């Protein structure tokens, strides 16, 4: 008989797709899902960068594969979801993690940067949710976890496109939950705090800004990708079946200040 933890948090037999999972937060979440028993599809723009990730995930005794796609192109997103479903005949968990950031004061933030950020961070997320949601609704079950941000709650500085996109992700999460929760599909989001990733490299390199950020984090440190592992497994598992429409901050206490 399966233990309580296996019944509630185990993901054996589930198929998960994690976008933007060649490194950073996405890789950490894909790793956690695989270690919890899920078969995992990883995604990125560059197929070559995904090969070592597939090899690592398969070493945990699950099936793993890679599908390259550009989340800023709707046709690519729709193809990605279709191929993900076709791989094992079903898709149980979708983690919309792929995202980009462009830094510039609002008055010099170009249309090209704005469009690129919104296309990947918001349009791509909606397109993926719509395609996967249709499949999950037909099956009567599914978990969608979007990657939001602390800027889903705050405005930030010199990242107007990113802030707008992540605010949109938070509201999209709630809107989809309102429509789908009664049909067995839970939609939630994780809002990571200040994490050590490529997206925050500029902040980490700015001694003054980095000190300012660290001084406001009650946990006393920047977050690491591994800090999301427990949250992603919880949201992907049956342990969270009555949790929906939430944007969970994993931020070392930042939002409590």
For residues 54 and 64, the answer to whether their CB atoms sit within 8 Å is yes
From the number of C-beta atoms within 10 Å of its C-beta (0-12, 13-18, 19+), residue 23 rates as middle
For residues 100 and 121, the answer to whether their CB atoms sit within 8 Å is yes
Residues paired with residue 133 on neighbouring β-strands, in sequence order: none
For residues 166 and 115, the answer to whether their CB atoms sit within 8 Å is no
Q: Name the residue with tokens 């939950």.
A: 177
242 is catalytic: no
Q: Name the residue with tokens 């992540």.
A: 166
The pair of three-digit structure tokens given for residue 14, joined into one six-digit string: 């589930």
Active-site residue (options: 60, 162, 194, 242): 162
d(CA 122, CA 4): 37
The b-or-e profile of 189-226 (16+ CB within 10 A means b, else e) is bbbbbbbbbebbeeebeeeeebeebeeebeeeebbebe
Beta carbons within 8 Å of 101's beta carbon, 6+ residues apart: 117, 159, 162, 199
From the number of C-beta atoms within 10 Å of its C-beta (0-12, 13-18, 19+), residue 4 rates as exposed
Q: How many CA atoms lie within 13 A of 99 on its CB side?
A: 29
Residues assigned a catalytic role: 162
């Amino acid at each position: 008989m399966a233990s309580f933890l296996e019944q509630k948090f185990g993901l054996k037999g589930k198929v998960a797709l994690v976008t933007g999972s060649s490194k950073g937060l996405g890789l950490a979440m894909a790793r956690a899902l695989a270690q919890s028993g899920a078969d995992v599809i990883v995604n990125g723009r560059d197929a070559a960068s995904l090969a070592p990730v597939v090899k690592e995930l398969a070493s945990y005794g699950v099936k793993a594969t890679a599908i390259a796609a550009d989340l800023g192109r709707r046709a690519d997103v729709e193809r990605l979801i279709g191929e993900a479903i076709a791989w094992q005949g079903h898709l149980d968990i979708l983690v919309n993690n792929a995202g980009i950031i462009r830094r510039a004061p609002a008055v010099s933030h170009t249309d090209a940067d704005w469009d690129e950020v919104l296309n990947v961070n918001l349009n791509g997320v909606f397109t993926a949710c719509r395609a996967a949601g249709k499949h999950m609704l037909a099956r009567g079950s599914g978990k969608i976890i979007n990657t939001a941000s602390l800027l889903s709650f705050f405005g930030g500085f010199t990242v107007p496109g990113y802030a707008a996109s992540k605010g949109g992700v938070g509201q999209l999460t709630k809107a989809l939950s309102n429509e789908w929760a009664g049909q067995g599909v839970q939609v939630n989001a994780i809002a990571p705090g200040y994490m050590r990733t490529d997206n925050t490299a500029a902040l980490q390199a700015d001694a003054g800004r980095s000190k300012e950020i660290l001084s406001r984090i009650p946990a006393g440190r920047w977050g690491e990708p591994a800090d999301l592992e427990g949250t992603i497994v919880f949201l992907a598992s049956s342990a969270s079946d009555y949790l929906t429409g939430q944007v969970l901050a994993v931020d070392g206490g930042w939002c409590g200040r």
